[in-house]
């Protein structure tokens, strides 16, 4: 709707208060409305407000969808909120897909918790159409960031064994060592 677009626009401009005002005037708010407002909070480093909004959303009978989970997990990742992300995953484990787990791999990698990221890659659910390289190259990039050549080498080996003709694992591995 036009109002959802306004919420989105205000959020991107950093005008979260105006976005919230638009939302408050809406009589019919669907999951798209809530996600637009949640994105506004998260993009403007107001994640605690976004989490409060998630509670209100659920109290109003609107359940989070795939996009809701992605918005929050991505925000946790970029803010380094490891404990919050782990609690969120525990609370919604049955509702998350492989993309959501990739957000957590990214979060753990950014935070330097590479062993846990490795374990999650091995245990996370896979879906048809998933890029098998993505988890390993995400971990490999984190290894480069944190200077962990040993884990990086092992991640590169896994990636290369899956798709030896792809150049990205080789490039990331060479800059990790």
Q: What is the pTM of this model?
A: 0.84
DSSP structure string for the chain: -HHHHHHHHHHHTT-HHHHHHHHHT-S---HHHHHHHHHHHHHTT-HHHHHHHHHHHHHTTPPP-HHHHHHHHHHHHHHT-HHHHHHHHHHHGGG--HHHHHHHHHHHHHTT-HHHHHHHHHHS---TT--THHHHHHHHHHHHHHT-HHHHHHHHHHHHHH-TT-SHHHHHHHHH-
pLDDT at site 132: 85
State mean pLDDT over 103-125: 93
State mean pLDDT over 104-123: 94
How far apart are the C-alpha atoms of 38 and 43, rounded to whole Å? 9
Q: What is the pLDDT of residues 143-161, one digit of tens each?
A: 999 999 999 999 999 988 9
The contacts of residue 50 (CB under 8 Å, 6+ apart) are 38, 41, 42, 71, 72, 75
Least confident of 37-41, 89-93, 115-119: 89-93
pLDDT at site 113: 96
pLDDT at site 72: 95
177 has pLDDT over 80: no
Least confident of 25-29, 117-121, 135-139, 162-166: 162-166
């Amino acid at each position: 709707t036009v109002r959802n677009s306004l919420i989105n626009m205000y959020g991107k401009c950093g005008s979260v208060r105006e976005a919230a005002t638009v939302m408050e005037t809406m009589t019919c708010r669907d999951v798209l409305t809530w996600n637009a407002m949640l994105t506004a909070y998260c993009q403007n480093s107001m994640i605690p407000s976004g989490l409060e909004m998630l509670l209100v959303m659920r109290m109003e009978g609107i359940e989070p969808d795939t996009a809701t989970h992605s918005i929050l997990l991505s925000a946790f990742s970029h803010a380094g909120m490891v404990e919050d992300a782990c609690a969120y995953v525990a609370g919604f484990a049955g509702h998350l897909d492989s993309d959501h787990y990739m957000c957590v791999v990214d979060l753990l990698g950014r935070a330097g918790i590479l062993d846990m990221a490795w374990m999650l890659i091995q245990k996370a659910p896979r879906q048809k159409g998933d890029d098998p390289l993505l988890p390993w190259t995400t971990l490999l990039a984190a290894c480069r960031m944190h200077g962990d050549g040993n884990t990086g080498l092992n991640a590169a080996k896994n990636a290369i064994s899956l798709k030896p003709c792809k150049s990205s694992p080789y490039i990331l591995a060479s800059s990790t060592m």
